[in-house]
Amino acid sequence: QVQLVESGGGLVQPGGSLRLSCAASRSIFSIYTMGWYRQAPGKQRELVAGITVGSTTNYADSVKGRFTISRDNAKNTVYLQMNSLKPEDTAVYYCNAVTYYGGSYYPVIGSWGQGTPVTVSS
């Protein structure tokens, strides 16, 4: 069974930093682009960062220059370093494998992990 386990969230003041981790099953980690999604209250889940098996990265405009995605293929783990956090970054963050089709990105694993909540507030 494929597993996605996110951790590292918490409460942080505006301008602060957090580092999220996601441990994934090797069966998907070794062949798929991995992505970090977030879902704010009352909003749809959105993809904020992705990293290919070869470590090419891509970011949503809203986090570009502030967030950095990385992966450790030996540990089957993907990270999201979040700096200069803003209140609008408040959300539950999830990871998933990502596939690209028809001009859009789609999550691969239908069963999401529990996510890790991030709250940015003073």
What are the tens digits of pLDDT across the range 75-87? 999 999 999 999 9
Q: How far apart are CA 29 and CA 97, in angstroms?
A: 7
Q: How far apart are CA 100 and CA 30, in angstroms?
A: 16
Task: Kindly give the confidence (pLDDT) of every residue in the chain, 122 residues in length, as a single tens digit, with 9 standing for 90 and above.
Answer: 778 999 999 999 999 999 999 999 888 888 899 999 999 999 999 999 999 999 999 999 999 999 999 999 899 999 999 999 999 999 999 999 999 888 888 999 888 999 999 999 99
Q: How far apart are CA 98 and CA 81, in angstroms?
A: 19
Q: How far apart are CA 45 and CA 43, in angstroms?
A: 7
**Neighbour-count burial of 95, counting CB atoms closer than 10 A to its CB (0-12 exposed, 13-18 middle, 19+ buried):** buried
Q: Count of alpha carbons within 13 Å of 99, Cβ hemisphere only? A: 8
Q: Let me know: does 24 contact 97? Beta carbons within 8 Å.
A: yes
User: Which of 29, 32, 20 has the alpha carbon at shortest distance from 93?
Assistant: 20
